[in-house]
Amino acid sequence: MPGPSEFPLGAAVTLADLDGDLHPTLHRLRTREPVSWLPVLGAWLVTRRDLALRVLRDSSVFTVDDPRFSTARVVGPSMLSLDGAEHKRHRDPFADAFRRPEAQARLEEFVVSEAGRLVASFAAAGRAELRRSLAGPLAVAAVAEVLGLGQADPGVILSWYDEIVAAVAAQAGETPAGGRSPAAPDPPAPEPGSAAFGQLERSLQAVIARPDGDSLLAAAARAHGLRDSEVVSNAAVLMFGGIETTEGMISNAVLHLLGQPAARDAVAADERLAANAVEESLRLEPAAAVVDRYATADVGLGGAAIRRGDPVTVSLAGAGRDPAFFPEPDRFDLRRENARQNLAFAHGPHFCLGAHLARAEASAAILALLRALPGLRLDPARRAAPRGVVFRKPAELQVLWDAPG
């Protein structure tokens, strides 16, 4: 692996640098070492947008299909951990189901209704913590609707999710701060995670078996391209993205918007701008800060000599603030013309197929809040900021408003 003298900036990066306000660190790397070896990650880190696109688009050279990809060891092979023809076989039934206009319309209607219901449940209080009262519950409800688990207890779904994520983290050898330890062994999946996946599998098998099921999961199963066990593995992957990253996406979008009172007022006056606010937030702080790939051949990238088998981590957060593509990249600009060209949902063959739904959830959450809570503002005594090495969101998001009475 490269020595500290070859990539001195990367060698100096700590987990603390990546966990808190990581953007000054990413700026230095993007300017001087756009592809840098970070010992703390045990991987190359790509921070420039054009180079990130090159990695994300070329799955023949930068693949997810590697034994070190920990999710597959817990839930089995899925669209997340496969490339080429097998990736297409796993992804297409779900992509086709998501693309159906009637499915999109039904899900959009559902998240608007659910966001309104959740906000109404605490509107009289005058204050709330929005990650746990709105962002998380809305994400869980949307996932349950997609998977045909709408009658399941949201707490049960979250318990499955938490235990499976913990098992994946253990497989990856993650440190408590969220970083990866390249020397960590490959332990078997912890028993709680295995038990949780078994419970999820049994529930999803029941959904698949229902002849009258109209969920996206049932539509994917009826496509006959996948075995039931493969449908379940891909459903588990959808659950990861649909809960973790969407909760973070909603929280970050509300945080950014309320941090700019003029932008908040503009969205309240013209609700069409809610989508702009979501895109600009995704650019500034993607809920998934990085995605991992593995080099299948020796390749040069941004002045770095990457060897076959090397881990390559793409910084979606770094790409979103590349000044070569986004002028004044640290500024929240509600009318930025190219904000939607952020890479928060990745790019290429692994572009997030639930992006449309996630965007709808975040817009619905913003509009439900602004419609129901006059004077909505961040609590100045409880400052919030996104944190996390891999997944970034505020630990809590305390807000106030002018409650009636």
What predicted TM-score, i.e. pTM, was given to this entire model?
0.91
Task: Count CA atoms within 13 Å of residue 402 on its CB side.
Answer: 4
Distance CA 361, CA 176 (A): 30
- Extract the tokens encoding 67: 């034994």
CA dihedral (308, 310, 316, 320) positive or negative: negative
Helix then strand then coil, % of the chain, to nearest 5: 55, 10, 35
Q: Which domains does the chain have, with CATH numbers?
A: 8-400 (1.10.630.10)
Q: Which of 180, 170, 136, 169 is nearest to 155 (CA)?
A: 136
Closest CA to 301 of 67, 57, 113: 57
Query: Do the Cβ atoms of 154 and 180 come closer than 8 Å?
Result: no
Q: What angle do CA 98, 101, 105 make, to 5 degrees?
A: 90
| Residue 346 falls in which region: left (phi positive, over 0), alpha (psi -120 to 50) or beta | left
Q: What is the pLDDT along the chain (405 residues), one digit of tens a residue?
A: 777 789 999 999 999 999 999 999 999 999 999 999 999 999 999 999 999 999 999 999 999 999 888 777 778 899 999 999 999 999 999 999 999 999 999 999 999 999 999 999 999 999 999 999 999 999 999 999 999 888 888 888 888 888 877 776 676 554 333 333 333 344 444 455 667 778 888 888 888 888 776 788 888 888 878 998 899 999 988 988 899 899 999 999 999 999 999 999 999 999 999 999 999 999 999 999 999 999 999 999 999 999 999 999 999 999 999 999 999 999 999 999 999 999 999 999 999 999 999 999 999 999 999 999 999 999 999 999 999 999 999 999 999 999 776
